[in-house]
């Protein structure tokens, strides 16, 4: 096959080629998904050096299990599931390596555990990213409602808008943000 043929081939075609013994097709699949999967690991690990190891482990699993791929799902969904499960296994292995007294020790205070802090930080950074993708008026409404914890009535008064308009625009902002999150998970 010519290079151009690999570039324009869809994922299903590349999977067929790999299963037929064409290793170059797998290189193109790897190139298509490498950056997105690596970003996923970097975000979840807060930039840990383990991201590259997890990326490699994920693609080894993809290669070994490629014959199990079914086109009922997009290839991106399938590979994301493998990446997510690889990350879960990684977290479990790390927990098993901890001494048992540290693993089950309750936090001394109501403060979040280190893992909870990392998860909260990751969620916050993801929310901030998707929030930055919203138009300014929607971003402002979401921040006022969910971060500053204003009631709908307080927002209406502060922005001199009818209450119905505030509710409608917040609803639209939430829908748009959910769409952005869903699209981000697919890519």
Q: What fold is seen in the domain 3-97?
A: Rna Polymerase Sigma Factor; Chain: A (1.10.1740)
- Considering the domain 110-186, what is its CATH architecture? Orthogonal Bundle (1.10)
C-alpha span between 48 and 46 (Å, rounded): 6
What's the sign of the alpha-carbon dihedral 42, 44, 46, 48? negative
- Contact call for residues 37 and 83 (beta carbons, < 8 A): yes
Segment 123-155, tens digit of pLDDT: 777 778 888 888 999 889 888 887 778 888 999
Question: What ranges do the domains of the chain cover?
Answer: 3-97, 110-186
Task: Copy the structure tokens of residue 95.
Answer: 């927990």
Q: pLDDT-derived band of residue 93, with 50, 70 and 90 as boundaries?
A: confident
Secondary-structure breakdown of the chain: helix, strand, coil percentages, each rounded to the nearest 5: 80, 0, 20
Q: Which residue has the tokens 């290793």?
A: 23
Is residue 61 over pLDDT 90? yes
Region of 63 (left: φ > 0; alpha: ψ -120 to 50; beta: rest) is: alpha
- Contact call for residues 130 and 178 (beta carbons, < 8 A): no
C-alpha span between 129 and 136 (Å, rounded): 13
Answer with the residue of higher pLDDT: 120 or 146.
Answer: 146
The pTM of the full predicted model, rounded to 2 decimals, is 0.52
| Helices 114-132 & 163-186 angle (0-180, nearest 10) | 110
Q: Which of 60, 68, 123 is nearest to 89 (CA)?
A: 60
């Amino acid at each position: 096959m010519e290079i151009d043929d690999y570039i324009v081939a869809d994922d299903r075609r590349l999977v067929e080629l790999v299963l037929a013994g064409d290793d170059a097709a797998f290189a193109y699949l790897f190139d298509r998904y490498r950056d997105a999967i690596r970003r996923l690991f970097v975000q979840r690990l807060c930039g840990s050096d383990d991201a590259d190891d997890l990326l490699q482990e994920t693609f080894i699993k993809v290669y070994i299990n490629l014959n199990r791929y079914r086109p009922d799902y997009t290839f991106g969904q399938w590979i994301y599931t493998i990446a997510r499960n690889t990350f879960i296994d990684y977290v479990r292995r790390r927990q098993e390596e901890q001494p048992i007294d540290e693993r089950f020790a309750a936090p001394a205070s109501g403060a979040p555990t280190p893992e909870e802090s990392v998860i909260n930080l990751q969620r916050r950074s993801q929310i901030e990213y998707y929030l930055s993708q919203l138009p300014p008026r929607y971003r402002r409404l979401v921040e006022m409602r969910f971060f500053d914890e204003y009631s709908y009535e307080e927002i209406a008064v502060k922005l001199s808008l009818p209450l119905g308009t505030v509710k409608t625009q917040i609803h639209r902002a939430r829908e748009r943000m959910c769409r952005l999150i869903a699209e981000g998970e697919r890519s």
